[in-house]
Amino acid sequence: MFGFLQNTVVLLISLAAFAGAIWGLIDAARRPEGAFTAAGKWSKTIWLVILGVATIIAFISLPWPLGTGGGIGGILGIAAIVAVIVYLVDVRPKLGGGYGPSGGSRGRSTGGW
């Protein structure tokens, strides 16, 4: 009973980590290079490599039969989760809301009441 519950929790956490890594990788790829340097963060290329490796680790860590690992709880899995969280919580908000070369906000108001 508890083994099934534990395996289910590990599977859900592993799937969430994999989904977050994919989301972070796609988001970073869509951002312009200038947004990273303007925000005072590492370059876009470095973040794409970090998030790409995190995505691969998260996929490999998926419990069988989806992947080959025993869950995201290993040291590499935890490092992948930390990398994704740092991007989504620290880097992404400082990049601004604009995508593409213009960096515009797509018609949204950017301040005031």
Calculate the average pLDDT of the chain: 86
The predicted-structure confidence for 22-77, as pLDDT tens digits, reads as follows: 999 999 999 999 999 999 999 999 999 999 999 999 999 888 776 666 788 889 99
Q: What is the pLDDT of residue 8?
A: 84
At which residue do the structure tokens 């039969």 appear? 65
Q: What is the pTM of this model?
A: 0.79
Map 17-35 to HEC letters.
Answer: HHHHHHHHHHHHHHCCHHH
In whole angstroms, what separates CA 54 from the centre of its chain? Answer: 8
In percent, the amount of the chain with pLDDT more than 70 equals 82
